[in-house]
Amino acid sequence: MNPGKEQILNGERSAGFDVQACRKDFPILSSTVFGKPLAYLDNAATTQKPQSVIDTIHNYYTGINANVHRGVHYLSEQATCFYENARVKAQQFINAAEFREIIFVRGATEGINLVAQSFGRSNLRRGDEIIISTIEHHSNIVPWQMLAEQTGAVLKVIPINDDGELLLDEYEKMLGKRTKLVAVGHMSNALGTINPVKKMAEMAHQWNARVLVDGAQAVPHMPVDVRALDCDFYVFSGHKVFGPTGIGVLYGKAELLEAMPPYQGGGDMISWVTFGKTLYNTIPYKFEAGTPHIEGVIGLGAALDYVSAVGMNRIAAYEGELLAYGTRLLSAAPGVKIIGTARQKGGILSFTMEHAHPHDIATILDREGIAIRAGHHCAMPVMERFAVPATARASLAFYNTQEELDRLVAALGRVREIFR
């Protein structure tokens, strides 16, 4: 790793960003673990929640709770209003053209499965091709393998270089008449690589292929504009963007969603049911069968309000500076090797250390109050590509500090003493 290769996202500085003020909004960040102040560096797995999200969910249950889209009574109308307002917040957050293009799902994983089973099964035939990349999370691999098995379609995989960047020349060669779908992550959870998804979508569209972007790791860390990217589908998870678990968003272009069959049958997704035939509801409701995760949706709306108020550009700039700082520290730490050194990179510091297994590193750090993840990060092909069984991974959010990274590197010094 060249320590001079700093990644300042957007080329913008984090002027006016007050990390200490932000930290006060997250109650858990002032807790201690094993008597040490918590340094939470596992944000790629899930993020912590600001008080405003916690309060919104509390207020929903204490003052509004009712089922949506059915009652004429006051509470049901209130709940429906909050629920649908959150849809508009999600629409605006990723700059979708219409609220109808926002489907609430359980998370990125369910969004991808929905597209694979609904769009995929009705559009792909034997011999058609699906393109993914080497650095996908298993959630953006397995649903396509299942679809390939069901339809006879073929999966192709874009290779990467030693920095963890996609080889676009190889991607270009893979595209062709048989390409029906390209499914690619916006930002890698294992390496931090930010992929040029706008360009990749443009290239795929020249062959009339559809493009799904897995934005699980991008949405919490940078401004996302689905219309500027011109992707056909985009998915993200609420819990990674400071909202509740069990809720996420699938964005799809309206004309595609309208043509797709429902994913699940049940209440709310119908307009008329007889035993002979069922007429389906319009989008987005056609894809939201059953009572939805109402408090999850409303809590997600509060989370999107929160990060919008902080400012996504500011978050990206601050995290870029923090990543550059952490990269410098880890590059200078004896025996440490950073895995994932792309020029365009988000706040992921994946690394290995001589003589110490990543699980041992994570366990020792835990005793210091430092939470990181160790393992394959649900991206086993990435581990195979770099010929490592696992990595230790510190993943950043805008509430992390340089001091926490100093503590991380100091604790790695202790790991070295134990294992040398």
Name the minimum Å distance from CB 251 to ligand 7TS: 15
Q: Which of 22, 81, 231, 378 is catalytic?
A: 378
Which of the stretches 150-158, 210-218, 313-321, 361-369 binds ligand 7TS when contact is defined by CB under 6 A? 210-218
Residue 32 CA to residue 24 CA, distance in Å, equals: 15
Q: Could you give the count of Cα atoms lying within 13 Å of 374 in the half-sphere of its Cβ? A: 17
Q: Is 346 in the site for ligand 7TS (CB under 6 A)?
A: no
One symbol per residue from 215 to 254: x for binding ligand 7TS (CB under 6 A), - otherwise; what is it?
-xx-------------------x-----------------
Q: Looking at 14, 56, 179, 189, which residue binds ligand 7TS (CB under 6 A)?
A: 189
Name, in order, each residue with C-beta under 8 angstroms of 74's C-beta and a sequence gap of 6 or more. Answer: none
Is residue 281 a contact point for ligand 7TS (CB under 6 A)?
Answer: no
Q: CA-to-CA distance for 239 and 145, rounded, in angstroms?
A: 26
Indicate whether 48 belongs to the interface with ligand 7TS (CB under 6 A): no
Going by their DSSP bridges, the two strands 179-185 and 210-214 should be labelled as parallel
Q: How far is the CB of 237 from ligand 7TS (least distance, A)?
A: 3
Applying CB under 6 A, among 100, 377, 385, 416 the residue interacting with ligand 7TS is 377
Our CB check for ligand 7TS shows the closer of 270 and 378 to be 378
- Check if the beta carbon of residue 218 is closer than 8 Å to that of residue 186: yes
Cβ at position 156, least distance to ligand 7TS in Å: 19
Of the candidate residues 1, 88, 364, 378, the single one contacting ligand 7TS (CB under 6 A): 378
Q: Pattern 11-40, binding to ligand 7TS, x per CB under 6 A? A: ------------------------------
- Which ranges of 160-233 would DSSP assign to H, the alpha helix? 168-174, 197-205, 226-229
Pick the binder of ligand 7TS from 25, 101, 165, 214 (CB under 6 A). 214
Q: Is residue 119 classed exposed, middle or buried when 0-12, 13-18 and 19+ CB atoms within 10 A define those classes?
A: buried
Closest approach of Cβ 187 to ligand 7TS, in Å? 7
Please tell me what DSSP assigns to residue 394. Answer: E
- Contact window for ligand 7TS (CB under 6 A) among 135-143, 156-164, 285-293, 316-324: 135-143
Q: Alpha-carbon distance 176 to 224, whole Å?
A: 28
**In terms of C-beta distances under 8 Å and separation of at least 24 residues, what long-range contacts does 409-414 make, across chains too?**
409/329, 409/330, 409/333, 411/364, 411/365, 411/368, 411/370, 412/333, 412/336, 412/353, 412/361, 412/365, 413/333, 414/364, 414/368
Question: CB of 288 within 8 A of CB of 106?
Answer: no
Residue among 49, 100, 137, 385 that touches ligand 7TS (CB under 6 A): 137
378 catalytic residue (yes or no): yes
- Tell which one of 44, 103, 204, 300 touches ligand 7TS (CB under 6 A): 44
378 φ/ψ sector (left φ>0, alpha ψ -120 to 50, else beta):
left
CA 319, 320, 324, 325 torsion-angle sign? negative
Q: Which stretch binds ligand 7TS (CB under 6 A): 91-99, 133-141, 146-154, 381-389?
A: 133-141
**Cα(239)–Cα(259) distance, integer angstroms:** 30
Judged by beta carbon, residue 44 or residue 371, the one nearer ligand 7TS is 44
* Segment near ligand 7TS (CB under 6 A); pick from 5-13, 260-268, 372-380, 412-420: 372-380
List all residues 6 or more positions away from 412 whose beta carbon is below 8 Å from its beta carbon.
333, 336, 353, 361, 365
* Active site residue ranges: 378
Residues that bind ligand 7TS (CB under 6 A): 44-45, 107-109, 137, 139-140, 185, 189, 214, 216-217, 237, 373, 377-378
